[in-house]
A = this chain, B = another copy of it.
Amino acid sequence: MIVIMEREATAAQIEKVAERLQAFGFQVHLSRGVERTVIGAIGDKTPEKIEQIEAMPGVERIVPILQPYKLAAKEFRPERTQVRVGNAVFGGDEVPVIAGPCAVESPEQILETARAVKAAGATVLRGGAFKPRTSPYSFQGLAEEGLKLLKEAGRATGLPVVTEVMNPRDIELVHEYADMFQIGARNMQNFSLLKEVGRARKPVLLKRGLSATVQEWLMAAEYILSAGNSQVVLCERGIRTFETETRNTLDLSAVAAVREHSHLPVIVDPSHGTGKWKYVLPMARAAVAAGADGLIVEVHPRPEQALSDGPQSLTPENFARMMEEVRAVATAVGRRV
């Protein structure tokens, strides 16, 4: 790391910082410019040490040289990680599509949806049983009953299933029914939850937080990886900005950034990313063109009767159309859906 001293830093302050760095085991290089002294510190230390140096008198700021994630970094693992969920493989040439309703509502609804998305080419079924709703008065999901229905619909159609887990207390239960855990955007920095799914032996779909930088997102993945679970798939689902035309701002550059910095597969959720079903089609195409390793899309047989997220849900017909368009784009970029 590099320690930039204040202009007014005294010789004694500079000395003290250098000494402390050495005591921490860093190799130290001083560089005195006309206006500032800069101290280079070689070594790889814990975040605490960095903050402690930053809080010393005379220090203006610290510039870290190395990224803070290790296991999630390309440098740790140059080849791309592949995560298998049923027959779907994330991180290879294939671009698997996860589809299903926002929430599991009834046996008929989830089965009908499962059949429709399977027919159109989806290879993983999604559906929420525990729903993180902004309002306590909104439908909160069917809980275990929803998990059962989801699993049955998956079994009936031969599709593996992914569903959100919100509470560490529910991990065991969800583990029984799901083929893949989903960590929602609002829980991306729920570190207790991350550690616990990190101890499970099951793939994890880690959505990006609404206001998380790419680096913080990779740090959240690092929590799971460092707990022993290497099967992490990242999911860009839009960030919060000033723009109100869309529910969130889908940041497709994040796909390129993740592929630049990490070996983990990254998929895109154009449903939450836009909040409007009309925009899901173009953004699904764009995601695949940008290099996404998969898609996750909300589909409901009757969006106007959905208990959540109807406005952004595709009908089965629109989903089938989306799959066709996405297939053409995948081919154009040398991949297949």
Interface stretch (choices A93-101, A118-126, A307-315): A307-315
Closest to A307 in B: B48
Q: Answer yes or no: A317 CB below 8 A from chain B CBs.
A: no
Closest to A325 in B: B333
Top-8 shortest CB links A-B: A55-B310, A211-B211, A289-B289, A167-B192, A286-B290, A332-B332, A328-B332, A186-B189
* A83 contacts across to B, CB distance below 8 A: none
* A308 contacts across to B, CB distance below 8 A: 48, 51
Contact between A242 and B245 (Cβ–Cβ < 8 Å)? no
Q: Tell me, rounded to whole Å, the shortest Cβ–Cβ distance linking A191 to chain B.
A: 5
Closest to A277 in B: B55
A29, A193, A282, A291: residue with the most chain B Cβ atoms closer than 10 Å: A282
Interface stretch (choices A84-92, A132-140, A146-154, A199-207): A132-140
* A42 contacts across to B, CB distance below 8 A: 31-34
Q: Answer yes or no: A216 CB below 8 A from chain B CBs.
A: yes
Q: Answer yes or no: A283 CB below 8 A from chain B CBs.
A: yes
Contact between B136 and A223 (Cβ–Cβ < 8 Å)? yes
Q: Answer yes or no: A230 CB below 8 A from chain B CBs.
A: no
* A251 contacts across to B, CB distance below 8 A: 241, 243, 249-250
* A216 contacts across to B, CB distance below 8 A: 134
With contacts A2-B2, A35-B66, A260-B279 known, what are 17 further pairs, Cβ within 8 A? Answer: A2-B63, A31-B42, A33-B42, A51-B309, A57-B304, A130-B192, A169-B192, A211-B240, A214-B243, A239-B241, A241-B241, A256-B274, A256-B278, A257-B279, A282-B289, A286-B289, A329-B329
Contact between B136 and A303 (Cβ–Cβ < 8 Å)? no
* A278 contacts across to B, CB distance below 8 A: 256, 260
CB within 8 Å of B: which of A279-337?
279, 282-283, 285-291, 303-311, 313, 325, 328-329, 331-333
* A227 contacts across to B, CB distance below 8 A: 136
Contact between B44 and A34 (Cβ–Cβ < 8 Å)? yes
Q: Answer yes or no: A36 CB below 8 A from chain B CBs.
A: yes
Given contacts A189-B132, A190-B186, contact A310 B54 (CB under 8 A): yes
Q: Answer yes or no: A162 CB below 8 A from chain B CBs.
A: no
CB within 8 Å of B: which of A1-46?
2, 4, 7, 29, 31-36, 38, 40, 42-44, 46
Given contacts A213-B245, A243-B251, contact A166 B192 (CB under 8 A): yes
Complex Cα gap A198–B10 (Å): 37
Complex Cα gap A243–B2 (Å): 22
Complex Cα gap A278–B312 (Å): 32
* A279 contacts across to B, CB distance below 8 A: 253, 256-257, 260
* A332 contacts across to B, CB distance below 8 A: 328-329, 331-332
Q: Answer yes or no: A144 CB below 8 A from chain B CBs.
A: no
Partner of A333, one of B134, B313, B328: B328
Q: Answer yes or no: A108 CB below 8 A from chain B CBs.
A: no
Q: Tell me, rounded to whole Å, the shortest Cβ–Cβ distance linking A291 to chain B.
A: 5
